[in-house]
Amino acid sequence: MTIPRDDITGLLLAGGRGSRMGGADKGLQNFNGIPLALQAILRLQPQVGELMVNANRNLAAYEAFGAPVWPDALPDYAGPLAGFLTGLEQCATPWLATVPCDCPLFPLDLVQRLAEAADAQDAEIAMAVAPEADGQLRTQPVFCLLRRELVESLTRFTQGGGRKIDAWTAQHRCVEVPFDRPGDDPRAFHNANTIAELRALESKR
């Protein structure tokens, strides 16, 4: 018995500055004619019970995609952990699954595999691990499944100035979940930090 889908809320992280895209709002850039954020929502929605978005600007544009939108709980674009904290504070289910808005090809079975590993290992956090361009497996810390009870721990960590995901997750029972099975898309976790990287991802399909 793995974690039921309805016990998991999905969180799309779209709250960054987009500094490497010249300050553009990454989630609103088109990928094959569809905004990145909407592409991610369409991939994530069937994998979870509820869905919400973390964004810090253009809130009406994100709300138009049909999910509740919550700005960072922390000031000054404090990074992904600020999005994690916002999601955990608003989450009404036992688990929160996070994905970034700039990886349009993430796996359609992402949440299921994270949930199976978390359940099997009695973990508080399950984190994706995937091959990068050099073939080496690396953690993909913004692709996480988190227990809602971690909100107090994360509040303390961020109030103390902590901003690094791995420094926080190291304090908890964390299982790493490899996405390198035969048939797994090697580009599943490739992210688009620049317009050029976004166009390159489009052209590889």
Instruction: Note the pLDDT of residue 197.
Output: 82
Strands of 137-147's sheet, edge to edge? 69-70, 50-55, 8-14, 95-100, 137-147, 125-131, 174-178
- What is residue 18's predicted lDDT score, i.e. its pLDDT? 54
What is the predicted pLDDT for the residue at 77? Answer: 64
- What is the per-residue pLDDT for 22? 61
pLDDT of residue 40: 96
**Domain extent listing, the chain:** 5-203
Calculate the alpha carbon distances from 160 to 153, 156, 157 in Å: 11, 6, 5
Fold of the CATH domain 5-203: Spore Coat Polysaccharide Biosynthesis Protein SpsA; Chain A (3.90.550)
At residue 19, the pLDDT reads 52
In the 8-state DSSP scheme, what is residue 23? T
Amino acid at 85: L
CB 141 within 8 A of CB 172: no
Query: How far apart are the C-alpha atoms of 193 and 18, rounded to whole Å?
Result: 8
What is d(CA 143, CA 51) in angstroms, rounded to the nearest whole number? 15
pLDDT of amino acid 6 = 97
pTM beyond 0.85: yes
The CA-atom distances, in angstroms, between 151 and each of 13, 54, 145 are 17, 16, 13
Q: For the chain, which ranges sit under pLDDT 70?
A: 1, 16-23, 77-78, 204-205
d(CA 76, CA 26): 17
Q: How many CB atoms lie within 10 A of CB 71?
A: 16
Q: Which of 155, 185, 193 is nearest to 171 (CA)?
A: 155
* 115 φ/ψ angles, rounded to the nearest 5 degrees: -65, -40
Q: In sequence order, what DSSP letters do the residues of 129-189 get, joined into one string?
A: EEE-TTS-EEEEEEEEEEEGGGHHHHHHHHHTT---HHHHHTTS-EEEEE--STT--TTTT
